[in-house]
A and B are shown apart, each in its own frame.
Chain A
């Protein structure tokens, strides 16, 4: 190995290149700031000068109403977070199972593949809202022994069933993207089919699909709000609905929207960061 060079000094040409790059970077930042200020300013003036602004301002952006309704909506959002976390864990388990079922080869596994395919076809085709209506009201009515009858349980079950169909396809793509030679190498070491899947294929598949999965998680955060249609689960949207019904001022909905954004933005940035770290240059980056 070559010894590390310790007395390296950048040459004049390298110093000049670096100062040029710094000047360029400063210029880009200045242009970005100026154009952002301009666009926001124009949009702001247009909205505020519109004829209906007075009324919209009162019914949607009432500060006192916002402060009043904030605690209730925030408490509702906590419900969304809980729904999201529990559902996300269940989704990973269900969808991984489906994906493994669908990628298993051989005649013995045919029923598994068939079951997986039918499941994905059905739940990818059904609108989520419809599933929530059907299961949220129909599920409790079934009165199955051993299963809770609460709207919360059946609402979460709807999310899990719907999302698992999508996420299973993401996992399946990940599993199939791992080259066959990796499986061969695992088997050559004496690992069984299942061990190869567990220690060789799935870890690689998981890494590849994580950015896509995190994207689905952001989406799940919002869609957890759809459970509000069942009426009995007090999440952020349902709480805003209740607050709004008191005096027909819609500000609580804006509060709920604001809180949802606060919840999803960190998640979205985390996804971008991870995707970049994985080497997808430029993927969703801000600058």
Chain B
């Protein structure tokens, strides 16, 4: 991703963002509320059209308007900050929709894979429930299962632990560590530095529309070089 720029009207949210995610790597984006973390993930997923810059995914410039965005999105998984589960479908229906409609998997096999995925996030017994009848943490895990079930090449996760109690944070963290060891490439946003420290290969601090500082968790969180980063981290710890 290089030189990515995105503005909403006169509000310039991203002003030349550069970073690279290698295969199998986990990049954690940190930054103040409103700094554009969610916007960055939506741009990477082509849900927002960038105003400038280039995003390359698996060797292809996906910001090229000739690229089929639906096809690109089918190779990525995005978990929304607000889950955005489909209330008219069951939990299993949510998880299998993309398998059936995008990837052309037969209903029986989709169901099987969906159930296996739900089992993995510990929600097999909720397969027939409606999303509205689940707790926030359960909905969060369904959202992760829905994005994961198609085996995406890149997972984009927006604040996946913000609604969870510490115990569940641990569970999700384990899940993400598992994914990492399986070689799933991930970009995730978080406000939780402990979480960032545990799973990240690279931490990027987003501020004023650019990546202010990036490096290993030990560097960025443990020993920040930039004044801004230090200020942000001390506010978060306070």
Residues of A within 8 A of B (CB): 181-182, 184-192, 195, 199-200, 203-204, 207
Contact = CB atoms under 8 A, between A and B. Distances in A.
Given A184-B80, A199-B101, A189 B88 contact: no
A185 B80 contact: yes
Interface in B75-118: 75-78, 80, 82, 84-89, 97-98, 101-103
A189 B47 contact: no
B71 interface: yes
B47 A187 contact: yes
Nearest to A188: B78
A190 B98 contact: yes
Contacts of A190: 70-71, 73-75, 98, 102-103, 150
29 contacts: A181-B82, A181-B84, A182-B84, A184-B42, A185-B85, A187-B69, A187-B70, A188-B45, A188-B73, A188-B76, A188-B77, A188-B147, A189-B97, A189-B98, A189-B102, A189-B146, A190-B74, A190-B98, A190-B102, A190-B150, A191-B70, A191-B97, A192-B70, A203-B88, A203-B89, A204-B86, A204-B87, A204-B88, A207-B88
B113 to A, nearest CB: 14
A237 B88 CA distance: 42
Instruction: Give the one of A188, A199, A200, A204 with max B CB within 10 A.
Output: A188
A147 B237 CA distance: 76
Contact of B84 (A184, A191, A195, A203): A184
A199 to B, nearest CB: 6
B70 A200 contact: no
Given A181-B80, A181-B84, A182-B84, A187 B73 contact: yes
Contacts of A188: 45, 47, 73, 76-78, 80, 147
B92 to A, nearest CB: 14
A182 B86 contact: yes
Contacts of A189: 73-74, 97-98, 102, 146-147, 150
A105 to B, nearest CB: 13
Given A185-B84, A199-B97, 20 more contacts: A181-B80, A181-B82, A182-B84, A185-B80, A185-B85, A187-B47, A187-B70, A188-B45, A188-B47, A188-B73, A189-B74, A189-B97, A189-B147, A190-B73, A190-B75, A190-B98, A190-B102, A191-B97, A203-B89, A204-B86
Interface of B: 42, 45, 47, 69-71, 73-78, 80, 82, 84-89, 97-98, 101-103, 146-147, 150
Contacts of B98: 189-191
Contacts of A181: 80, 82, 84
Contacts of A200: 86
Contacts of B87: 204
Nearest to A192: B70
B97 to A, nearest CB: 6
A191 B42 CA distance: 15
Contacts of A182: 84, 86
Contacts of B42: 184
A225 B172 CA distance: 62
A229 to B, nearest CB: 42
A92 B84 CA distance: 28
Nearest to A203: B88
Contacts of A191: 70, 97-98, 101-102
5 closest residue pairs by CB, A with B:
A190-B74, A185-B84, A189-B98, A190-B102, A188-B78
Contacts of B146: 189
Nearest to B100: A199
A191 B86 CA distance: 13
A181 B38 CA distance: 13
A188 B76 CA distance: 8
A192 B75 CA distance: 13
A17 B77 CA distance: 53
B68 to A, nearest CB: 9
Contacts of B80: 181, 184-185, 188
A145 B108 CA distance: 48
Contacts of A184: 42, 47, 80, 84
Contacts of A199: 97, 101
A190 B150 CA distance: 10
A189 B94 CA distance: 10
A187 B103 CA distance: 14
Contacts of B75: 190
Contacts of B86: 182, 185-186, 200, 204
Contacts of A187: 47, 69-70, 73
Nearest to A195: B101
